[in-house]
A and B are shown apart, each in its own frame.
Chain A
Amino acid sequence: MISVKNLYKEFKQDDKILYVLNGISVDFKKGEKVAIIGPSGSGKSTFLRCINALETPTSGEIFFKERKVDSSSSEIDDIRKNIGMVFQHFNLFPHMTIFENITFAPTMLKIYSPSQAKELAMALLEKVGLKDKWNVHPSRLSGGQKQRVAIVRSLMMNPEVMLFDEPTSALDPEVVKDVIGLMIEIAKSGMTMIMVTHEMSFVRRAATRVIFMDEGKIIADTTPENFFNNCENVRISKFLNKLI
């Protein structure tokens, strides 16, 4: 479904050049739930953001269902419709109500008629337990509620794949499980998911594949069982030890 070929990304910072991605090549299949983990600064967020062209790689190519992902091509908006994205800081639109937040894009892009969008929106809000908040602005919601709305906003587009960029990092510990619960439900529905996360419990329960990144390279690409149980790699065991 997604094919990444020889991805490199450099940032200029002051006078130095930072090499963030150093040759990433990987394929993602339909229905996979891929957890990307690794120490901070390993390039995992940058890699994720390249997949829907929020970052432009220095070199290398990404294909989504045989179509090249390129931020300057006219096709990019159409590709992005099919790639949902959930951000660490939610990025809800503060000037819109919750209802407007989740229905604006699908009605604007004519994916649903306004009445269809309304029906779906209310059903999804009910599912995440936020139906009574449909007419308030995001500033009235807690972090956990905001992230659930952000996930619903993504789901409303009926995407083929969803990207999660550290979706629980900015949340208070007690609400993390609400968001994780919702993500597990989405995983059960068969959605293809690629997530950058530090939530190992979630990785154990829902991921079908684990990619470990360090210094802009893929160090390991394996199943969760293998990853947690038979780690011979020094860097991985060091990372896991720190988490525990």
Chain B
Amino acid sequence: MKHQRIIVTDPTLRDGSHACSHQISVEQIRRYATAAEAAGVDYLEVGHGNGLGASSLQVGLSLVPEREMLATARACLKQTGLSVHVMPGFATAKREIANAIEVGVDLFRVGSHCTEADLTQRHISYVRNAGKEAWGVLMMTHMASKEVLLEESKKMQSYGAQGIMLMDSAGAAVPDDVKQKIGLLAEKLEVPVGFHAHNNLGLSVANSLAALEVGARILDGTARGFGAGAGNAPLELIVAAMQRLGYSCRADLYKVLDAGELAEELFAENLPVSNSITIVSGLAGVFSGFAKPVQRAAKQMGVDPRDVFVELGKRKVVGGQEDLILEVASELAARQKPVADGKPR
């Protein structure tokens, strides 16, 4: 093999939470986690779509309490590490992180909007002091230049992050963006750099490979792309493509393909598809996790969900600001009223 081994992280049971409005069941966790362990992914990420402590009216209540989700997965994993996503502002160190440490989480991926890395200082330190692994995650990375991303990831590195992930949370990136941003980080950071794709523009696999090409050492992929919006880079496709290109990883291709088959069965009703809404969402650069709540609100208020995405994009909303969906949808509805009344605008 010509390349260094790539770490494969699988957030199917975390990002996929968005795709089914956070209704992942204990049974689904148990069966998928068992398959992920067999497939040999390095880490399996589990929890609410927005991470620890995010089960809320704002972004959706989880079907299963956090502790139970994590404990269920924990019981199925041996070689594969258990990972969680952490967003300061939702999760606090002493409550959610301490709780997750107790359950036996191995890796904490502490994230913030791509320009707000300093919010993660306390949480990363807390995890490191507890003797656990912490990575820094920058989200919505299409909204910042590569220089800003470097500066922010250096902050996380200085807090003790042992890896840095760039998330294309809106699925708005094209391979050239990824090469520039990941390339600069891979060149300048001491810790391994990784990439997390979304498929809104159908580029999740291409973007993931572009990241590897310029030195990424970590890749996120989900079974059948089970994730927010148009989904993530499908795990089975990136593992296959990596094999084709000569990148090594711990995962076993056939077992990964099996996990994909299982996901198709387990999550049949909610597997992500590319449609006009996810495409507009990607173009507008809006957090992929907004897809379901936007559709719900648009339906209730009688407005075009695409218009809602365009307006949200104009307002530069960030992950966690789901309440603005209601505001935008009701505003659009109010604007439409005169038409409904038959009066000219």
State yes or no: do A and B come from one complex. no
Binding site for B on A (CB under 8 A): none
Binding site for A on B (CB under 8 A): none
